[in-house]
Chain A
Amino acid sequence: MESAFSSADLSAIWLTFKLAAVVTVILLLVGTPIAWWLARTRSWWKGPVGAVVALPIVLPPTVIGFYLLVAMGPNGPLGHLTQALGIGLLPFTFAGLVIASVFYSLPFVVQPLQNAFEAIPERALETAATLRASASDTFFSVALPLAKPGLLTASVLGFAHTVGEFGVVLMIGGNIPDKTRVVSVQIYDHVEAMEYAAAHWLSAGMVVFAFVVLLLLYTFNPTGKRK
């Protein structure tokens, strides 16, 4: 049998994992403070900020893709900024996909983290404070370890959701090999060109990947009943 994946397929797979990995790292760095703030604050802003973070869950990818394409274009605010910084334009670039995916997958990282932070008993944090732990000490030595299951869920969902992204990439990616042609787009192209065998290999691979990821998550990180 011929190799199941063509070299174009393999480079799409590699690109997809690279994208998801970069996005997950950025999301953990950006999402953790947001989630911490959302979990602890009593500010009036909690509602609006939480709603903005959750927007990508509700919005069609076409809306996000359309606005990002316009905003990152030469006449959009982001486009002005990147051009002024000498970076050039972001659509059709890997960096552009990273930014789009960070926005698109944000709720899948923030929400599990926020739930985990909210579940930390107030008492644990107060105890730390009475022991004269600084705020950052409390966060890193008490809050974060207690939120470990949430952190794992957040990472897995952020990664998996980025792998599963299609609509936004189709709209701002430009389908460039090794830069923006991710697996989901490659599958779409195979189907349109009636290369069903190639489409099957990649699609089945995605199904297996998704199942294994979720299986690991549910097996090793049972939520719900805790002792």
Chain B
Amino acid sequence: MKLRALFTLAASALLLFGFAVQSAQAGQKITIAAAADLKFALDEIVVLFGKAHPGDQVETVYGSSGKFQAQIRQGAPFDLYFSADIAYARALKAEGFAASEAQPYAVGRIVLWSPSRDAGRMTLTDLADPAIQKIAIANPKHAPYGKRAEEALKAAGVWEKVEAKLVYGENVAQTAQFVQTGNAQVGIIALSLALSPELAKQGGYTLIPDKLHQPLEQGFIITRHAAGNPLAQAFASFMAGKEARMVMTRYGFALPGEVK
């Protein structure tokens, strides 16, 4: 009766697993859904927060702001939502999916970034150069950084010349990865990513003048799912604190209260 033994074993393993999952939940846990441009900055902030709240757990998920907004509407169990465009957070608030006001936390910037070319001296008009065959931007349809990139290219008067060379990342992090792997020569990505340790050692960047596009005003909410959750509240307050603001500044974000 080998099969019977196997079934018994599988059933006991499943039971044990269940108990293990139960007992692992000491302390509290929150999950944050955040725009991909926050990947490095927010990871550092979560570590700092963890030191102040030992025993509690903060998990982060990164992706495009549009996707997370749709998922929260469908009841995704995220406790905080950091959008790259505060309008997305405001929309959730207006529809009753938030337990807090949409709070601005940063203003982002876009840069031209390239590991293979001297991006430090590049301007948007240089993108028309035939030597540049592929330019990566985030998808303007649903990624705020992509929308701003499109606006800047249009304002600089090069959109018609570069449109055929554009490839679209699902979010701004995938956009950077298209360039990092060399498959696109230049990308328009978030300054916060260009300043991350991983990308900073590989290439240079030029800030794109922010008068060429609408501001990348970013905002977060505590979701309805986390209403009354003290840890979510604590993290929201921590974002406004000195430690978190220092990290955000280091990653090139302008902060609320500092912006003109």
- Chain A residues near B (Cβ < 8 Å): 69-70, 72-75, 79, 88-89, 91-92, 170, 174-176, 188-189, 191-194
A-B contact pairs, 24 of them (CB 8 A): A69-B181, A72-B183, A75-B181, A79-B182, A88-B133, A91-B178, A92-B184, A170-B170, A174-B168, A174-B183, A174-B184, A175-B139, A175-B167, A176-B166, A176-B168, A188-B170, A189-B141, A189-B142, A192-B64, A192-B139, A192-B142, A194-B66, A194-B69, A194-B70
Q: Report the minimum CB–CB distance from B115 to chain A (whole Å).
A: 11
Task: Given contact pairs A92-B167, A175-B139, A175-B167, enumerate 17 new A-B contacts (beta carbons under 8 Å).
Answer: A69-B181, A73-B182, A75-B181, A89-B183, A92-B183, A92-B184, A174-B167, A174-B183, A174-B184, A176-B166, A176-B167, A192-B64, A192-B141, A193-B66, A193-B142, A194-B66, A194-B69
Q: Report the minimum CB–CB distance from B8 to chain A (whole Å).
A: 28
Q: Report the minimum CB–CB distance from A15 to chain B (whole Å).
A: 15
Restricting to B173-190, which residues have a CB under 8 Å from any CB of A?
A: 178, 181-184
Given A69-B183, A194-B70, does the pair A92, B141 have CB atoms closer than 8 Å?
A: no
Q: Mark B128-155 against chain A: 1 for CB-CB distance below 8 A, else 0.
A: 0000011010010110000000000000
CB <8 Å contact, B134 and A189? no
Cα A225 to Cα B250 with chains together (Å): 69
Q: Report the minimum CB–CB distance from B241 to chain A (whole Å).
A: 32
Which residues does chain A contribute within 8 Å of B142, judged by CB atoms? 189, 192-193
Q: Report the minimum CB–CB distance from A77 to chain B (whole Å).
A: 13
| Interface range, B side | 20 to 34
Indicate which residue in A69, A70, A175, A191 contacts B168 across the interface (CB closer than 8 Å): A175
Among residues of B, the one whose C-beta sits closest to the C-beta of A180 is B167
- Chain B residues near A (Cβ < 8 Å): 64, 66-67, 69-70, 133-134, 136, 139, 141-142, 166-170, 178, 181-184
Indicate which residue in B67, B70, B178, B182 contacts A174 across the interface (CB closer than 8 Å): B178
Among residues of B, the one whose C-beta sits closest to the C-beta of A170 is B170
CB <8 Å contact, A92 and B134? yes
Among residues of A, the one whose C-beta sits closest to the C-beta of B63 is A192
Which residues does chain A contribute within 8 Å of B136, judged by CB atoms? 174
CB <8 Å contact, B139 and A189? yes
Q: Report the minimum CB–CB distance from B81 to chain A (whole Å).
A: 15
Cα A175 to Cα B142 with chains together (Å): 13
CB <8 Å contact, A73 and B66? no
Cα A52 to Cα B247 with chains together (Å): 46
Q: Report the minimum CB–CB distance from B65 to chain A (whole Å).
A: 9
Q: Report the minimum CB–CB distance from A156 to chain B (whole Å).
A: 30
Cα A188 to Cα B63 with chains together (Å): 13
Which residues does chain A contribute within 8 Å of B184, judged by CB atoms? 92, 174
Which residues does chain A contribute within 8 Å of B139, judged by CB atoms? 175, 189, 192
